[in-house]
Structure 1
């Protein structure tokens, strides 16, 4: 539990079938990858329609601390290349942003001064040790006093040798993405051979490779091995797609209420894991139609129980679990043991909070077993996790009296979420 003392948010209940059009903000995953690559480029990059949220601002703050600069340009952001100068110690504030904690230490190794990395208490519990080991093998000087976690200090020596390294990325695909994103600036690029279990969220790996190509790199992949040669990056403009994972609660709202929700600007082709929502909703008997204006979801009045392997789309688990509490029969979510190392232990949190409101939910070795039962109102604790706020909102559509704790934590990915949710309900 977060221990937040702010008043909880009374999640609104739908009075009938929805008929709404929604626009969601830019993708956090794409925004922060684009910012990193822009900072490593030879010239400025105009990042169009980026997400403006806590995680995105933390990334911009990290780049500023590392010798970069940026300026707003309307709804866009112009990012200048890193110019890491000076020898005085700098500090990078991580908050609880996994992308900042994992993507920026390598950038500090390109400079010539010590940089301290630390953030919220929660970030100290999130996995990062395999990445720190790999960075050391590639030539980065890191002092973590044996913790394998923040706080740690990167002592820059003016560059990173790079080369070949083995990496266990089974706890997070961000470990792999961190090495690949920085590799064009390493003296010898990087060749990463994955060991251990396959990384979760394959779409996020594809996203990293796609952005590298957009910025002029030439990544190669052969089975468990990835190679990114050293090269100069450049991209004058890059436009960020809407965040399809943030769209998830709005998409499933149509199924929960039996109404229609249109999500504007849904891309026809994308690497985002949230794109799987179309397939999921169709599998659950809902109608999901994509055209030039976006995705239209129409609920059909019933939700069947399902067995879902969410290994590649784990971040959708909180919202999907809330949806399945309204199913006609039992469901099982599998393949998401890695969620125990996210903003909180999401599996324990979901089992606790969904059960607290009346559902029968238990943890399994790698997921959740959900048996629907009559739900009732009460406090839905969110553990400083933005996706749990969204799950609580979904429950509130059909359950009066759901009080969602600490709604402001949703600012990690969508600061205007509660207002947009209320607007969807009219």
Structure 2
């Protein structure tokens, strides 16, 4: 266990890199935030602030966390942080159904690292999804490439070398294009020449920041699409299907984007948390009845399935009001709560099955959905606006990674037994799950 498994975000600049020029430091900050997306997603999934999460993970005071510059910690402090993290992990492994501590530590330490030896934060994020019965080599390759890129970009910022920064981006885009190359295949999605022209004309760090945000957002969606395709292919036993992650993105009221006018003040848009609960229900229903439900569940129907008096006290009862509050965002849905709701759905639909026989939860989709609940719905205007993802572009990335997965599996069985693609009936999401307007990227 090493301290870099808990590397903090760079979003607080005070004291972080005093040697970096101010303009370059602003770009360094932004890239640091993207690099720490895993921690931001974890904080969102726990309904915690990032300082609170880092305090819990490291044992450092929030004041010390706010100072940043963690590389300057004394060796004795780093050892205390390591021991604190190990103690926390031991607590989590103390339950009767938990995995042995030494196995968990070995798994954490096997997380991919960049060529410099540093932990790949995005790759570590994908590595966590492999704890369920899935292997994600394509997704980890995409993630590690992103980690390598961000590490080099941050080094260029630290050196206040704008020319080197631009060259790092140019080398990446010329080699990979819009989709990270894995396995040595040629670039499938060459970058638009206009992007390279825009990069060439950058003359100030402020312009470099704008360019980098756009490109890193695209890289993030490439990673999500890869994990969606690769993890989903194993989850559905390679049955032909369409992406899952768009099913938990913000969904605007039909016609709202096209006309700019809402036809009703109710359900102007559906939040990721609501769509996640609907997806968890649909997947459970699919396993039970071998088909997808034709209508969305009402809060009352979901509450009936999720309220388990044997598991909760009266004050914690799951009522239609509780579900409605999850739907509108007044009651936060967390990772732990989503997993608990999933377990209750499994008990409801499969009361006679053992824990091992029940369907495993779609962990990556849960994590992404709760992250998007935070980043796609700005808090500044109290949830009155939202951001949309370019679902068409996302679908193109997903299709690429799906083809790569199928090619990798051709003639072999990996993870789950594979379904014959010529005989398997495609899984088609019903209209109530897929109605989705598409706008520009994030």
Larger strand fraction of residues: 1
TM-score (norm 1): 0.29
Q: Which has the higher helix share?
A: 2
TM-score by length of 2: 0.28
